[in-house]
Amino acid sequence: MMAAVAARELQNGEVVFVGIGLPNLACNLARALQAPELVLIYESGAVGAVPERLPVSIGDPSLVTGSLMVCSMADVFQLFLQNGKIEVGFLGGAQVDRYGNINTTVIGNYQKPKVRLPGSGGAAEIAVHAQRVLIISRLNPRAFPAELDFLTSPGQRCKGQSRRALGMPGAGPVKVITDKGILESDPVSGEMVLTAIYPGVTVEDVKANVGWDLRVRDQLDLVTAPSFVELDLLRHKLDPQKLYLG
Amino acid sequence: MMAAVAARELQNGEVVFVGIGLPNLACNLARALQAPELVLIYESGAVGAVPERLPVSIGDPSLVTGSLMVCSMADVFQLFLQNGKIEVGFLGGAQVDRYGNINTTVIGNYQKPKVRLPGSGGAAEIAVHAQRVLIISRLNPRAFPAELDFLTSPGQRCKGQSRRALGMPGAGPVKVITDKGILESDPVSGEMVLTAIYPGVTVEDVKANVGWDLRVRDQLDLVTAPSFVELDLLRHKLDPQKLYLG
Amino acid sequence: MTKVVSMQAAIAAHVRDGDTVVIEGFTHLINFAAGHEIIRQGRKNLTLCRLTPDLIYDQMIAAGCAKKLVFSWAGNPGAGSLHAFRRAVEKGTPPLEIEEYSHFGMVARMSAGAARLPFWVMRNYMGTDLPVANPRIRTVTCPYTGEVLATVPALNPDVTIIAAQRADQNGNAQVWGLLGVQKEAAFASKRVIVVVEELVDESVIRADPNRTLIPGMIVDAVVVEPWGCHPSYAQGHYDRDNDFYVAWEDISRDPAKLEQYLKDYVYGVKDRAEYLAKNPGLTDRLKAKAQVCAGVNYGF
Amino acid sequence: MTKVVSMQAAIAAHVRDGDTVVIEGFTHLINFAAGHEIIRQGRKNLTLCRLTPDLIYDQMIAAGCAKKLVFSWAGNPGAGSLHAFRRAVEKGTPPLEIEEYSHFGMVARMSAGAARLPFWVMRNYMGTDLPVANPRIRTVTCPYTGEVLATVPALNPDVTIIAAQRADQNGNAQVWGLLGVQKEAAFASKRVIVVVEELVDESVIRADPNRTLIPGMIVDAVVVEPWGCHPSYAQGHYDRDNDFYVAWEDISRDPAKLEQYLKDYVYGVKDRAEYLAKNPGLTDRLKAKAQVCAGVNYGF
């Protein structure tokens, strides 16, 4: 469901910085449907990749074979990302806060963590530079706390300061796609506001899984359930081994 | 003669940043004689070039065909030159002063020049970074003035300051090879001192062509005239069209 | 949707009076055809940037296209001077502003532009007159060591024109042989024109993705112009016309001869095909010999 | 004079206790054989640097080689955690210092090291806790715009180990497929070991010079080690062993299982040939299919 919803966000011809897992599924679903000319860029250096299998890692050899360009990682980060060429970036995270700030570093104290997570990878710079960022994360209270344990990737406001004041070129996280509904950033306050819910989900369901007092838009959209075509592609063609689909 | 003398300065296996003209002749002569494994790097990006003809420019296609590596100019200047990988650099110039500073920019005033010369090219950074620099220049009073019209490439002392004080990594110009004799930099003062003369040339000949009071080493070496082998290679194999040989 | 257009259309659409223009290529792949079309279309007040202005900028200066030149080495390698450039700087005919760096400085300016940073850092210029002549060469202090290092400002051209051996219709361009500073110049630029010897199917590009220098996503127009670099060269296609570089010394030294050259070979032809027709024997004389490398395995 | 030596000899000569060591490769061309030999030779107090520590650094941490880890993403992509790393950081068994950046930060550190600059500039880290956790992430003020930008310090390892598809006996190494940050890491390093799938004649390198990633002049030792990257991969030679990456989640979660793995596949074999003999069927299962690209013309 999240993959199908994320795929609908992508327009034909857009340049997408693809992370592994659900974002990769979403991008390949979009390519199979409304956006055949989506340009997939992986931080490993593959540009215009057309993977013939679902890549397990963002450095899979199937991303290279038949791609338009392979470049060094210095070029990926300087010439593509920092240059502003990435139109959409996908991020996930162990914790997401009310402004779309993300923690992928530690649960607990940085010096003595309860759980050590992988860290930033390319997420910090994707959050700064991608023209817009889509966050994909399952909704639960631990994943959407009032306070992050660590701020790895910047959202709409960091410690009271706006992206503009902090000098960030990209628009930052504009949507959070969850398994119960969609949050969108308020253009003025930057706060993530519930704007759409999935069929069969109530606003209370969503609010119960968010650690702050979630704002809800007056007019809530209802997310269209995945179509037969979307589900068939996801289940039988894109992830037949159910590596990423639950 | 200058090409032959310059060639003798090169040791087998050294990494040389090759300029066009006489330095190129000298390097290819050295490769044909004592230094078959000399590694020729051109600022155009050809590394380990083995030109099968005398290249007219430092970007000649014959430098690419059969070379060990071709890289971008950003790599040439950052990864090879600034990194300190260049052992020998060759420079020439319209004017050379007593410390081996070089002018290749203008004769006369910079804003209203009498003669506009090509400018630095890569010379300024070669003078800063090459582990040692060899200057090749015909001796005459205009080419060896007391004062430069413009300081393009730094020598042993610039405006009263030593290379060390100015933070330059390379040893700078250690020899000036002319058509009458060889000057070498004094390890203490940095001044270029006459240390060797060509057969048939007098110290007075040399001094008359230098615009400052040239110091002369007590024990002057006599430069060995080009051997038959050297001349034969230069005239018949390396520069048969006499592009660079007088 | 194809980006392939004629040279006339590409220049008309993307090069405007007053623009900052880069035609790059270090000896290799300098696109003279584009420069000639800019002259024919009578562009004015251009700020021309390149490491080595070469013959093409000498012609554009003589034709009155240039307001300013930004460069690092202005000569005719192995052959002499760029006399139109020299007349402009020495005598002011026509007047020409200059802004001067070293090669490393120009490469660094384009690297900064390509990375969308306002400056680039290098260890250079200490003790020289270059920062005196050009106050845009400045310094920065290292926040770790306290060392003072040189800086140059980013260069972000309005339009960059790059030649490549081949590209597909979307502008995914592959280059081999000398690479110069083309990738940096293209990524630094607001608009990019790619001029190719050969238009190929996208599958040719995808068969060897490590050869791609310029991705189509940054390209605005693709022009197919065989022999478009003459008298510069394209590795594997044709050799450098060293004879013409030598001849330029004589042509450019005399304003009347230069004017006649422009009349005959630039204004007097409507495109590259006519230029080639005016140079009989050229393609036979300079055509590259075959020296094809083996491929590599991209399978998994 | 050839630089070709055995893996034992290369590690014995060039990797010393207390060294700062980089084994690079972003998913592609991670040289596990070198890591295993470092474990077998019992190196201690190493500062291990890499963007993605991957399974090989997890094994080296478990084996007690590491004093410190410098990194940007420490996970097992698509499969889970690096549990030896997590035990070290969460429980201190064994103790491990960490110094943490983002990918761009690590790439920038190696770019600075390769260019022999003390720092690199980037637009990054504003508003985040990364500079709080790591005070080596600092800022510099642009001398042109006044903008404040992030900096990271240069990384100059004692030794860098790079895998390549092929090299000649002098270490001129060619790589295709993903390039990661190998070139920058090698140029930043004091010593370089190149490990190749295939040793080729110098003429093979010279036939296609644009493919050369690492020039022999910066290489100290060449090791010929087919399948040296397993469970990582070498484009055109063999596929990534995704099954082993998944299996590592289970192995590394249990210290006893991890110890047994090291006994069986690292300490229990004397070299890569014995490792392959212990993995029957591996080479058949992962051998790459042929998908060879066409060559290009280098003639003139």
- Split at pLDDT 50, 70, 90, the class of B246 is low
The answer on pLDDT for A243 being more than 90 is: no
Domains, chain A, ordered by start: 2-238 (3.40.1080.10)
For A118, which residue in chain D has the nearest alpha carbon? Answer: D74
- Token representation of residue B28: 């290819």
How many Cβ pairs closer than 8 A exist between chain B and D?
A: 60
Interface test with A, best of D30, D70, D155, D178 (most A CBs within 10 A): D178
In this complex, do B70 and D215 lie within 8 Å of one another by their Cβ atoms? no
Give the strand pairing for D97-100 and D191-199. Answer: unpaired
Helix (H) or strand (E) holding C47: strand C46-49
- Catalytically active residues of B are 43
Select from C143, B59, B82, C147 the least CA-distant residue to D116. B82
**Ramachandran assignment for B103, one of left (phi > 0), alpha (psi -120 to 50 degrees), beta (any other):** beta
Task: For chain A, positions 179-238, list CB contacts with chain D under 8 A.
Answer: none
Phi first, then psi, for residue C224 (nearest 5°) are -95, 110
Which structural domains are found in chain C, ordered by start? 7-101+156-286 (3.40.1080.10)
Q: List the Cα angle D13/D18/D23 in 5-degree steps.
A: 65
Contact A65 C298 (CB under 8 A): yes
The Cα of D12 is separated from the nearest Cα of chain A by a number of Å equal to 30
State whether residue B12 sits within 8 Å of chain D by CB.
no
- The shares of helix, strand and coil residues in chain B, as percent rounded to the nearest 5, are 25, 25, 50
In DSSP terms, which residues pair with D214 in a beta bridge?
A: D173
Determine the distance from the C-alpha atom of residue D175 to the mean position of all C-alpha atoms in its chain, rounded to a whole number.
14
Is residue D231 reached through a cis peptide bond, with omega within 30 degrees of 0 on the bond before it? yes
pLDDT value of residue B179: 95
Residue C237: is it exposed, middle or buried by C-beta count within 10 angstroms (0-12/13-18/19+)?
Answer: buried
Q: Which SS3 state, helix, strand or coil, does residue D197 take? A: strand
| Separation between Cα atoms, residue A69 and residue C267, nearest integer Å | 39
Closest Cα in chain B, distance from residue D223 (Å): 19
In degrees, rounded to 5, the angle at the alpha carbon of residue C176 between the alpha carbons of residues C173 and C177 is: 145
Report pLDDT digits (tens) over B98-151: 999 999 999 999 999 999 999 999 999 999 999 999 999 999 999 999 999 999
**A20, pLDDT greater than 80:** no
Partner C contacted by B165 (CB < 8 A) = no
Checking if the pLDDT of B46 tops 70, the result is: yes
Say how far residue C175 (Cα) sits from the centre of its chain: 14
Are D64 and D94 a contacting pair, CB within 8 Å? yes
Given CB atoms, is D12 within the 8 Å cutoff of chain A? no
C-beta separation of C42 from C11 below 8 A: no
What residues in chain C have per-residue pLDDT under 50? Answer: none
> Shortest CA distance to A27 belongs to which of A1, A53, A9, A52?
A9
- Say what the pLDDT of residue D65 is: 98
Residues 163-182 (C) with a CB less than 8 A from some CB of B: 176-181
Interface test with A, best of D99, D104, D140 (most A CBs within 10 A): D104
Min distance A72 CA to chain D CA atoms (Å): 5
- Intervals of chain D under pLDDT 50: none
* Contacts C296 to D, Cβ<8 Å: 165, 176, 211, 236, 292-293
Averaged pLDDT, A39-68 = 94
| The one-letter amino acid at D110 | M
Kindly report the nearest CA distance between residue D100 and chain B, in angstroms: 25
Question: B36: which 2 tokens?
Answer: 């078959």
Q: Do D51 and A73 make contact, defined as CB atoms within 8 angstroms?
A: yes
Q: For residue A54, what pLDDT band results from cuts at 50, 70 and 90?
A: confident
Give the per-residue pLDDT at D6: 98
Residues 204-243 of D with CB under 8 A from B: 205-207, 209-210, 212, 215-218
In whole angstroms, give the CA distance from residue D91 to residue D8: 33
Contacts of D143 in chain C (CB under 8 A): 119, 138-140, 151
CA distances from A44 to A31, B236, D103 (A): 20, 52, 10
- The CA distance from B163 to C202, in Å, is 53
Read off the tokens for D179. 């390039």
Name the residue in chain C with its Cα closest to that of B125. C124
Nearest CA to CA, how far is B154 from chain D (Å)? 20
- CB–CB contact D121 C116 (8 Å): no
Q: Which residues of A are catalytic?
A: 43
D-facing residues of A in 56-115 (CB < 8 A) are 56-61, 63-65, 70-74, 77, 81-82, 101, 105, 110, 113-115
Please tell me the distance from the alpha carbon of residue A111 to that of residue A123, in angstroms, as a whole number.
Answer: 21
Chain A nearest CA to C258, separation (Å): 40
Residues C161, C22: contact at Cβ < 8 Å? yes
Whether D299 and chain B come into contact, CB under 8 Å, resolves to yes
Residues on chain A touching C215 (C-beta within 8 angstroms)? 47-48, 68-69
Interchain contact B121–C (C-beta under 8 A):
yes
Measured between CB atoms, does B243 come within 8 Å of chain C? yes
Of A21, A64, A121, the CB nearest to D78: A21
Q: Is B8 helix (H, G, I), strand (E, B) or coil?
A: helix
In this structure, how many other beta carbons lie within 10 angstroms of the beta carbon of residue B120? Answer: 30
Q: How confident is the model at residue B162 (pLDDT cuts 50, 70, 90)?
A: very high
Question: How far is residue C81's CA from residue C251's CA, in Å, rounded to a whole number?
Answer: 11
CA-based angle A82:C100:C137, to the nearest 5? Answer: 60
Taking the Cβ of residue A48 and every Cβ of chain C, the question of whether any pair is shorter than 8 Å is answered with yes
The alpha-carbon gap from B121 to the nearest alpha carbon of chain D, in Å, equals 19
Residues of chain C with Cβ-Cβ distance to B21 below 8 Å are 78
Q: Do C77 and B57 touch (CB under 8 A)?
A: yes
pLDDT of res. A246: 61
**CA C219 to each of CA A111, C193, C195, D214, D266: distance values in angstroms, whole numbers, following the listed order:** 47, 6, 11, 30, 50
Q: What is the pLDDT of residue C2?
A: 96
Mean pLDDT computed over B37-44: 96
Strand-strand pairing, A192-197 and A181-185: antiparallel
**Using the 8-state DSSP alphabet, how is residue D267 labeled?**
I
- 3-class DSSP string for C234-283: ECCCECCCHHHHHHHHHHHHCHHHHHHHHHHHHHCCCCHHHHHHCCCCHH
Cβ separation A45–D90 shorter than 8 A? no
* H helices present in C138-181, as ranges: none
With a cut of 80, say whether residue A145 has pLDDT above it: yes
pLDDT at B80 over 90: yes
CA dist C114 → B73, C111, C173, D75 (Å): 14, 5, 17, 31
